[in-house]
């Protein structure tokens, strides 16, 4: 069977610790749990299960971390979901569970890195940036709310006069720093967890697109060349699941997300732009986010395409945005550009559920998935083991599916996001 897809030519792929080369699935295999997808959700679920003694097989269409998990901004941010949405729908008890999950999702990532010695350039410090006074007011409310809830990490406001000490841009009027959040190399995190799964005798198959799933008491996961007989199945394909499970098709809308990376800046310029080496983002719906890599490149994202069509030139779309924030980079070469799909849930709440009893799924992180995906993997593993407390909070939430699949959904989403773009201007 011919290879389907290698990694995008991203900065992350170019600086990966190693290149995964797991076998294609061929013939018949048996396991306790078959996991479809080797991104953060699938790897997290598989590792939690393997640690608990389950015989796990991960089936990936391309390479470990091939999708959004290995291409994203690398921004490690706690919080699983907007708590107000959970409180409106499910009440205070569910809100408390969701809040604890929001704290735990960040901790899971840090614990995985420490436990397995994963070299992924983890750096703490996160800077939220304000473009208008109302956003500064929101920051103050956020700090007070978290302090009341005994939030475990230091947070502080950055007023206008202090801004040069945290960012070399005149665009912003202030900010908020969270010392518990931070940034990392996402593909190396994926690869490190894949090796950890191997340590626990889990199996991983690459270049093995799943064609169909037979549900029932004894589920089967079919690829073109083989089949996995399992007791339970985890679906973790998110934006790339496609029509593998028809009952999930259309519940998550694929939206294009893109990044660029400059040449190495050198210490002086890097310190001028981000003196404290924080990851950063603004507060708009269609936001800019950026950080420095370990080798002092500017990694910049901020263009999300909801039309279903990739831009002809990613650099031409993103570089003007980067220069708007940092004019100092006008003469700096962009060396990498890349993109891919993220899974958008229409209400921006991650989706979890079960299909015919033995198949579990999690998806729809809406661009905020690095930490929540790891939490989702734990929640799915807990549910498979019989603990449904956290799973049931999200399984109770109704999610709508847009009619007409992606041909209708993407234009509808594009129109909706245009509304929010206009709202950001006022």
Distance, in Å, from the CA atom of 104 to the CA atom of 244, rounded to the nearest integer, reads 31
Handedness of CA 329, 337, 362, 411 (dihedral sign): positive
More confident call, 128 vs 252: 128
For the cut 60, the answer to whether the pLDDT of residue 422 exceeds it is no
| DSSP reduced 3-state for 120 | coil
pLDDT at 334: 98
Block residue for tokens 């993109």:
339
Cβ pair 326, 273 in contact under 8 A = yes
Read off the pLDDT of each residue in 12-18 and give the average, rounded to a whole number.
97
Diameter of the chain measured on Cα atoms: 65
pLDDT in tens, 157-199: 999 999 999 999 999 999 999 999 999 999 999 999 999 999 9
pLDDT in tens, 207-253: 999 999 999 999 999 999 999 999 999 999 998 998 999 998 888 88
Bridge partners (DSSP) of residue 341 are 256
- pLDDT-derived band at 402, boundaries 50, 70, 90: low
Tokens of 289: 């986010």
DSSP code per residue over 36-59: E--SHHHHHHHHHHHHTT--EEEE
Tokens of 107: 């901790």
For the cut 60, the answer to whether the pLDDT of residue 411 exceeds it is no
E-assigned strands of 22-166? Answer: 27-36, 56-59, 75-76, 123-130, 155-158
pLDDT in tens, 47-89: 999 999 999 999 999 999 999 999 999 999 998 767 777 777 7
Tokens of 250: 């259309």
- pLDDT-derived band at 421, boundaries 50, 70, 90: very low
For the cut 60, the answer to whether the pLDDT of residue 3 exceeds it is no
């Amino acid at each position: 069977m011919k290879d389907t897809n290698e990694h995008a030519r991203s900065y992350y792929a170019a600086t990966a610790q190693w290149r995964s080369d797991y076998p294609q699935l061929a013939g018949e295999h048996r396991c306790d749990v078959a996991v479809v997808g080797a991104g953060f959700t699938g790897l997290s679920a598989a590792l939690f299960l393997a640690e608990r003694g389950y015989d796990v097989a991960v089936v990936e269409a391309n390479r470990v971390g091939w999708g959004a998990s290995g291409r994203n901004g690398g921004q490690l941010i706690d919080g699983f979901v907007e708590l107000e949405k959970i409180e409106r729908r499910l009440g205070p008890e569910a809100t408390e569970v969701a809040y604890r999950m929001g704290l735990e999702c960040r901790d899971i990532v840090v614990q995985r890195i420490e436990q397995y010695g994963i070299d992924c350039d983890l750096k703490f410090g996160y800077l939220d940036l304000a473009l208008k006074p109302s956003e500064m007011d929101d920051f103050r409310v956020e700090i007070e709310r978290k302090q009341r809830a005994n939030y475990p990490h230091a947070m502080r406001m950055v007023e206008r006069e202090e801004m040069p000490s945290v960012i070399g841009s005149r665009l912003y009027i202030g900010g908020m720093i969270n010392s518990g959040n931070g940034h990392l190399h996402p593909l190396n995190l994926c690869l490190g967890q894949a090796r950890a799964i191997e340590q626990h005798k889990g199996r991983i198959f690459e270049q093995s697109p799943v064609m169909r799933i037979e549900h029932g008491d004894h589920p089967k996961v079919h690829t073109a060349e083989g089949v996995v007989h399992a007791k339970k199945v985890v679906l973790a394909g998110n934006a790339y699941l496609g029509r593998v499970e028809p009952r999930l098709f259309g519940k998550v809308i694929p939206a294009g997300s893109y990044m660029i990376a400059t040449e190495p800046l050198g210490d002086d310029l890097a310190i001028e732009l981000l003196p404290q080496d924080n990851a950063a983002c603004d507060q708009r719906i269609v936001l800019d986010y950026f950080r420095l890599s370990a080798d002092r490149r500017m990694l910049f994202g901020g263009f999300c395409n909801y039309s279903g069509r990739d831009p002809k030139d990613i650099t031409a779309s993103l570089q003007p945005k980067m220069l708007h924030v940092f004019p100092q980079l006008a003469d700096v070469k962009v060396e990498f550009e890349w993109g891919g799909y993220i899974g958008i849930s229409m209400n921006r709440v991650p989706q979890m559920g079960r299909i015919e009893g033995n198949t579990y799924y999690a998806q729809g992180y809406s661009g905020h998935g690095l930490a929540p995906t790891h939490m989702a993997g734990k929640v799915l593993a807990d549910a498979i083991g019989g603990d449904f407390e956290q799973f049931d909070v999200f399984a109770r939430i109704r999610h709508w599916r847009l009619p007409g699949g992606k041909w209708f959904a993407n234009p509808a989403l594009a129109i909706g996001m245009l509304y929010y773009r206009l709202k950001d201007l006022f």
